[in-house]
Amino acid sequence: MNKKEFWIETYGCQMNDAESEALKITLKARGWREALTPDSADAVILNTCSVRQTAENRLWGRLGFYKHAKKEREFKLTVIGCMAERLKDKMFSRVPEIDLIAGSFQKTRIADYLEKTFSADPEIKLIGQEEYEFFTRHSNNDFKAFVPIMHGCNNFCTYCIVPYVRGREISRSFKDIYNEIDSLDSGNVKEITLLGQNVNSYTIQAGSRNMDFPALLESVAKRVTNIEWIRFLTSHPKDLSDRVIGIIKDNPVLCNHIHLPVQHGSNKILKLMKRNYTRESYLKLAERIRKNLDNVSLTTDILIGFPGETEEDVKYTMDLIKEAEYEDAFTYYYNPREGTKAYEWGDPVPQDTKIERLNRIIELQRSVTRKKRLNKIGRTMKVLAEKRSKKNKLELLGRTEFDDMVVFPGSADSIGKFINVRIEDISGDTLRGKEL
């Protein structure tokens, strides 16, 4: 076939971002070009997310849009990712114009099948579930890169669809991880993030050697020479060990930022969610992290409106936010996901109650975030400049190792470089400063 133009839309988590980037690299290596707009693409690929109903609703909207567009012009439509895994039959029946569906597994072979959709006899419209294979490269030598180290999850938190759509945990061979990191390290990459649904469960047996997550983290920290920041996402609080905290402390290349999703502050709700920790054990862990790591930034996820949640449970969560003093939190309200354990318990907390509780949580976290950021005024911070500000073309946006967003005057030449910025002010949640 003549190589053509592709367009990829990505929804959901960083793992999807990483896999979409990897697919772009694969397609470009086979002679494809990235289209500037979807209207000129010969192949449109939607990489989907199933974690929340809102993400799925958006995707149905996009499928409606492309179904209509297919009446106007010729192009191939491919759907991949978690929602494709979960709802493939429904997708084919509602949008028969879809040319190819591949779920969460055989993404490395999508390019083969995508090219076949252009032949007179495409053979296959659905790539089945086989063992997950990791792409070999997930970044095109940008200054920031994701490096997946594992896939799937064995935890089965009662609200979460991930183990059903991404399957059981599979750890990537550490040799493949090293290969990818070595090639990023010899390029322009300044920051990498080791990715997995629960990175702390990473484990690989190679001969007599067992590599667990702390061992991997330490070896990666010692291995890199040009990469200056290493992060990891996501950590389950029941699995983040003191060994990991010690390794972060001893290796300055590991960022002093830990995302530690608590989900709720009430022991009753944590038990119903099957999170396998208590608010007390979580807070002790947070305290150990703060005690050992200088100026560490702790961020979290909070899920409000779970079945059985009362006002008292919300109060526990608000108290926990005050005690943990998160630098930031990603907050959301509960949506039942069909197929999960909690789906059987219905959705008893009324929608307006969920929204009202969520708003209180957001407001509280904002005040905690603001207080913590105000304390940074006057400090000089190392910032990785990421892009131009949309509001003011003369300003740049960047992030600190603690994941604070910083705005400062600067030119496009600085993008992708580390800049020392003196923090002078805060607007909203964003730090503002000047280059030193």
Evaluate the CA torsion angle 245, 213, 176, 130 in order and state its sign. negative
Residue 26 or 317 with smaller CB distance to ligand SF4: 317
Let me know if 351 is exposed, middle or buried by CB neighbors in 10 A (0-12, 13-18, 19+). Answer: exposed
Beta carbon of residue 197, minimum distance to ligand SF4 (angstroms, whole number)? 4
Which of 35, 153, 321, 419 is close enough to bind ligand SF4 by CB under 6 A?
153
Beta carbon of residue 104, minimum distance to ligand SF4 (angstroms, whole number)? 12
Nearest-angstrom CA–CA distance, 325 and 317: 12
Footprint of ligand SF4 on 208-227 (CB under 6 A): none
Burial 387-416 (b: 16+ CB within 10 A, else e): ebeeeeeeebbbbbbbbbbbbbebeeebbb
Is there binding between residue 272 and ligand SF4 (CB under 6 A)?
no
State residue 193 phi and psi, 5-degree precision: -125, 120
Which of 10, 20, 197, 256 is close enough to bind ligand SF4 by CB under 6 A?
197
Range in contact with ligand SF4 (rule: CB under 6 A) among 135-143, 148-156, 377-385, 387-395: 148-156
Residue 261 or 433 with smaller CB distance to ligand SF4: 261
Is there binding between residue 198 and ligand SF4 (CB under 6 A)?
yes
Taking CA atoms, 352 is separated from 127, 287, 355, 359, in Å, by 41, 35, 5, 10
Beta carbon of residue 169, minimum distance to ligand SF4 (angstroms, whole number)? 9
Which of 76, 236, 372, 399 is close enough to bind ligand SF4 by CB under 6 A?
236
Beta carbon of residue 238, minimum distance to ligand SF4 (angstroms, whole number)? 9
Range in contact with ligand SF4 (rule: CB under 6 A) among 100-108, 150-158, 285-293, 320-328: 150-158
Residue 167 or 398 with smaller CB distance to ligand SF4: 167
Q: What is the DSSP string of 260-317?
A: ---B-S-HHHHHHHT----HHHHHHHHHHHHHHSTT-EEEEEEEE--TT--HHHHHHH
Beta carbon of residue 46, minimum distance to ligand SF4 (angstroms, whole number)? 22
Nearest-angstrom CA–CA distance, 280 and 284: 6
Residue 20 or 235 with smaller CB distance to ligand SF4: 235
Asked if the peptide bond before residue 234 counts as cis, ω within 30 degrees of 0, the response is yes
Beta carbon of residue 354, minimum distance to ligand SF4 (angstroms, whole number)? 18
Beta carbon of residue 261, minimum distance to ligand SF4 (angstroms, whole number)? 7
Tokens 């967003």 belong to residue: 405
Which of 43, 102, 162, 381 is close enough to bind ligand SF4 by CB under 6 A?
162
CB 383 within 8 A of CB 360: no
Whose CA is closest to 188, among 226, 225, 230?
226
Which of 12, 81, 163, 196 is close enough to bind ligand SF4 by CB under 6 A?
163
Is there binding between residue 172 and ligand SF4 (CB under 6 A)?
no
Residue 20 or 197 with smaller CB distance to ligand SF4: 197
Residues 15, 91, 22: CA angle, nearest 5 degrees: 25
Which of 14, 108, 129, 155 is close enough to bind ligand SF4 by CB under 6 A?
155
Residue 251 or 276 with smaller CB distance to ligand SF4: 276
Helix 213-223 vs helix 242-250: crossing angle, to nearest 10: 10
Let me know if 89 is exposed, middle or buried by CB neighbors in 10 A (0-12, 13-18, 19+). Answer: exposed
Residue 275 or 376 with smaller CB distance to ligand SF4: 275
Beta carbon of residue 262, minimum distance to ligand SF4 (angstroms, whole number)? 11
Beta carbon of residue 157, minimum distance to ligand SF4 (angstroms, whole number)? 3
Size of the site for ligand SF4 (CB under 6 A): 10
For residue 209, the SS3 value is: strand
Beta carbon of residue 18, minimum distance to ligand SF4 (angstroms, whole number)? 16
CB 239 within 8 A of CB 198: yes
Tokens 């975030």 belong to residue: 369
CB 244 within 8 A of CB 253: no
Which residues contact ligand SF4 by CB under 6 A?
153, 155-157, 160, 162-163, 197-198, 236
